[in-house]
């Protein structure tokens, strides 16, 4: 596994150092980013083998980093572990089960065993992720390259909108439950 690059994007130096210390010595090159903007730059330049992404980040949020990575066919294949001390904030944007979105989730604070399990899970999920459908759409319908790109962009937007709708439905269910409890 030597030569494997792990990018840890977290505004907390403590978390970045903790992840580095929990990984087996000498097996990984750990890259660090303190905000989403720096993280995106490193993702594009270094092409890491795994991304560990805090969801709440300065400059560019973890949610925005996630969306940009998922919208790029090549980058979306990189195994991803989302980290957060507030799972409910992740669920506002991305509904459970997280595996359906092909990333692993780890709640902060975490131990070495949990980190190892999340990394293994992310690797497995990344292999299961379907290949982007742009080439199939191009073969099925004789459109220009721009048309195929538009179709792919619209497909990504639809998936994001569906995730937001699912999150809103869940929130509405929670609000109704609270109202019913108050009325008792």
CA 112, CA 125: separation in Å to the nearest integer? 20
Over residues 53-106, the pLDDT tens digits come to 888 888 888 888 888 888 888 888 888 888 887 766 766 666 565 555 577 888
119 pLDDT exceeds 50?
Answer: yes
**What angle, rounded to 10 degrees, do the helices at 62-71 and 36-46 form?**
30
Confidence of residue 142 (pLDDT cuts 50, 70, 90): very low
- Helix (H), strand (E) counts: the chain: 7, 5
Report the predicted TM-score, pTM, of the whole model to 2 decimal places.
0.64
- Which stretch, 43-52, 134-143, 149-158, 161-170, has highest mean pLDDT? 43-52
Using an 8 Å Cβ cutoff, are 82 and 101 in contact? no
- Answer yes or no: is pLDDT of 1 > 70: no
Q: Report residue 129 as tokens.
A: 């992720």
Say if CB 63 and CB 101 are below 8 A apart: no
What are the φ/ψ torsions at residue 5 (nearest 5 degrees)?
Answer: -105, 125
**133: closest CA among 93, 94, 76?**
76
Q: Which two tokens stand for residue 158?
A: 């639809």
């Amino acid at each position: 596994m030597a030569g494997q690059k792990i990018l840890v994007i977290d505004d907390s130096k403590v978390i970045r150092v903790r992840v580095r210390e929990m990984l087996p010595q000498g097996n990984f090159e750990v890259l660090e980013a303190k905000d989403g903007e720096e993280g995106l730059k490193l993702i594009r330049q270094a092409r890491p083998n795994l991304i560990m992404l805090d969801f709440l980040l300065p400059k560019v949020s973890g949610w925005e980093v996630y969306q940009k990575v998922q919208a790029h066919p090549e980058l979306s294949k990189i195994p991803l572990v989302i980290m957060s001390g507030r799972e409910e904030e992740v669920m506002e944007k991305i509904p459970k089960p997280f595996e359906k979105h092909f990333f692993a989730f780890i709640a902060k604070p975490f131990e070495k065993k949990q980190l190892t399990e999340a990394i293994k899970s992310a690797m497995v999920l990344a292999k299961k992720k379907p290949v982007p459908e742009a080439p199939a759409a191009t073969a099925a319908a004789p459109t220009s390259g721009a048309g195929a790109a538009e179709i792919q962009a619209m497909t990504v937007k639809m998936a994001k909108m569906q995730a937001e709708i699912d999150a809103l439905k869940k929130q509405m269910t929670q609000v109704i439950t609270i109202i019913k409890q108050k009325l008792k």
